[in-house]
């Protein structure tokens, strides 16, 4: 049996003034290869001026849907890692990542 359970997930869209190659290189040089990269789906889109827009799900909002505070705590810890990565990249940190 398969059950579909709808839940909300916060998705951040972060505008940058950098080009695609620069953002990719900075992001990929900062993420741990196993524990974080496997959990995040980063959508990198651009505009006509070649600026990149990162689209990243807030993991605590995804993990909270399980209703278990221990799983929610893992999501909050991953939010903190994402905030640190964005800071190291010189990008704005959404306030929701700072709340946990």
Torsion angle defined by CA atoms of residues 45, 19, 11 and 70, in that order, rounded to the nearest 10 degrees: 130
Structure tokens at 21: 């190659």
What mean pLDDT do residues 67-74 have? 88
Is the CB of residue 51 less than 8 Å from the CB of residue 17? yes
> Can you name the CATH fold of 11-98?
Alpha-Beta Plaits (3.30.70)
Domain boundaries, the chain: 11-98
Residue with tokens 């999501």: 75
Give per-residue pLDDT as tens, 2-61. 555 666 778 888 888 888 788 878 887 887 654 555 555 555 555 666 677 777 888 888
**The model's pTM:** 0.68
Is the CB of residue 16 less than 8 Å from the CB of residue 53? yes
CA distance 97 to 64: 14
């Amino acid at each position: 049996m398969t059950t579909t359970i709808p839940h909300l997930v916060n998705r951040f869209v972060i505008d940058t003034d950098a080009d695609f190659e620069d953002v990719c290189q900075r992001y990929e040089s900062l993420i741990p290869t196993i524990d974080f990269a496997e959990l995040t789906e980063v959508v990198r889109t651009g505009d006509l001026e070649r600026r990149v827009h990162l689209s990243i799900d807030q993991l605590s909002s995804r993990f909270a849907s399980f209703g278990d505070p221990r799983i929610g705590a893992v999501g909050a810890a991953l939010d903190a890692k994402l905030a640190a990565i964005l800071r190291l990249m010189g990008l704005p940190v959404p306030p929701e990542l700072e709340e946990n």
